[in-house]
Amino acid sequence: MAEFQGTLAASIHISGTGLHTGKQGTMTFHPASPGFGIQFRRTDLEGKPMIPAHITHVVDTARGTTIGIDSVRIYTIEHVLAALIGMGVDNALIDLNMDEIPIRDGSSRYFVEAIEQVGIQTQSQTREYIEIKEELVLHLSDTGSKLRISPADEFSVEVEIDYATKVLGKQKAYLSSLSEFNTEIAPCRTFVFLHELEFLLNNNLIKGGDLSNAIVFVNRKVSQEELDRLATLFNKPKVKVKDEGILNNLELYFPNEAARHKLLDVVGDLSLLGKRLKGKVQAYKPGHYANTEFAKLIYKTLNSISYD
């Protein structure tokens, strides 16, 4: 049976802070006509430039996926894109009055909840799919990342992470259908290792972090002095390490929340193909660079054009 495209039944606003820039802003999701896809519009800039959420516009993948055209950028698009595809939104115009998507709690939950509030409007045109005819594999030797897609009637994703640390070693997550995204994957928050966190803080790279938007894994001994310093940086009375090896800023929703978040990122990054995939995805050690290179490989194979 044919499935129809969907958009939002009404406009919605979400405000928040960008994780990396620390800027506060508002994002407004507007309904859009069939075939429009997902496009961002920078309302704070002259001429209100638009950037389609498409793999051909990816310009950076360090600490998040960034799209850009000329000097205009939109940072950290992956969590909102995952929420849109998970909720069945094919077409939307997203106004943003800053250069980064608000991080909220580091998951897709707030975007999903906002979309749920207004609901989905089914549209007149049918959905188009990318059907995978033969297996495609991307292997990155420097990171050991390996992503594979093989033919299947439905989209599914299997992720395995392997950080080779005591607190976060091998961990797996599985999504058998996008219809399970909202409950199984959307609430899963991003994570960081304590040593990375200190580096990012010291280099002013996470101005919007407040210890509520990431799971912090502690993979080495940490002194009380360091914990006190973190408490001051994050404006918390006390910071300590819990038995599971994470900081006490939050409770895990799932024992494998980290792997589930990496799966969320894969869903968001692959949605940059602009159409839904029919295929079985297996991702070992995924990351934004690997995910977007994999999406480019799929795009290039489908279009049989040279692309880099």
Which residues are identified as catalytic? 288
Q: Which stretch binds Zn ion (CB under 5 A): 127-135, 175-183, 257-265, 300-308?
A: 257-265
The answer to whether residues 127 and 3 touch, using CB atoms and an 8 Å cutoff, is yes
The answer to whether residues 55 and 295 touch, using CB atoms and an 8 Å cutoff, is yes
Q: Which is nearer to Zn ion, 90 or 265 (CB)?
A: 265
Closest CB 237 distance from Zn ion, rounded Å: 28
Distance CA(173)–CA(109), nearest Å, equals 18
Of all residues in this chain, which one has the CB nearest to Zn ion in the complex?
A: 265
The answer to whether residues 295 and 273 touch, using CB atoms and an 8 Å cutoff, is yes
Closest CB 273 distance from Zn ion, rounded Å: 18
Residue 281 class from Cβ within 10 Å (0-12 exposed, 13-18 middle, 19+ buried)?
A: buried
Query: Quick count: other Cβ atoms within 10 Å of Cβ 206?
Result: 22
Q: Which stretch binds Zn ion (CB under 5 A): 91-99, 189-197, 227-235, 236-244?
A: 189-197
190 part of the interface to Zn ion, by CB under 5 A: yes
7 part of the interface to Zn ion, by CB under 5 A: no
76 part of the interface to Zn ion, by CB under 5 A: no
70: its two tokens: 């000329």
Closest CB 289 distance from Zn ion, rounded Å: 13
The answer to whether residues 23 and 100 touch, using CB atoms and an 8 Å cutoff, is yes
Q: Which stretch binds Zn ion (CB under 5 A): 184-192, 219-227, 248-256, 277-285?
A: 184-192
Closest CB 226 distance from Zn ion, rounded Å: 25
257 part of the interface to Zn ion, by CB under 5 A: no
90 part of the interface to Zn ion, by CB under 5 A: no
The SS3 assignment for 42 reads: strand
Closest CB 189 distance from Zn ion, rounded Å: 8
Q: Which stretch binds Zn ion (CB under 5 A): 65-73, 157-165, 261-269, 291-299?
A: 261-269
158 part of the interface to Zn ion, by CB under 5 A: no
Q: Which is nearer to Zn ion, 123 or 265 (CB)?
A: 265
The answer to whether residues 73 and 99 touch, using CB atoms and an 8 Å cutoff, is yes
171: its two tokens: 């961990």
Among 90, 160, 257, 265, binds Zn ion (CB under 5 A): 265
Q: Which is nearer to Zn ion, 158 or 265 (CB)?
A: 265
The residue length of the chain stands at 308
Q: Which segments of the chain does DSSP mark as H helices, in order?
A: 78-87, 109-118, 181-184, 194-202, 224-233, 257-270, 288-303
156 part of the interface to Zn ion, by CB under 5 A: no
Q: Which residues bind Zn ion (CB under 5 A)?
A: 190, 265
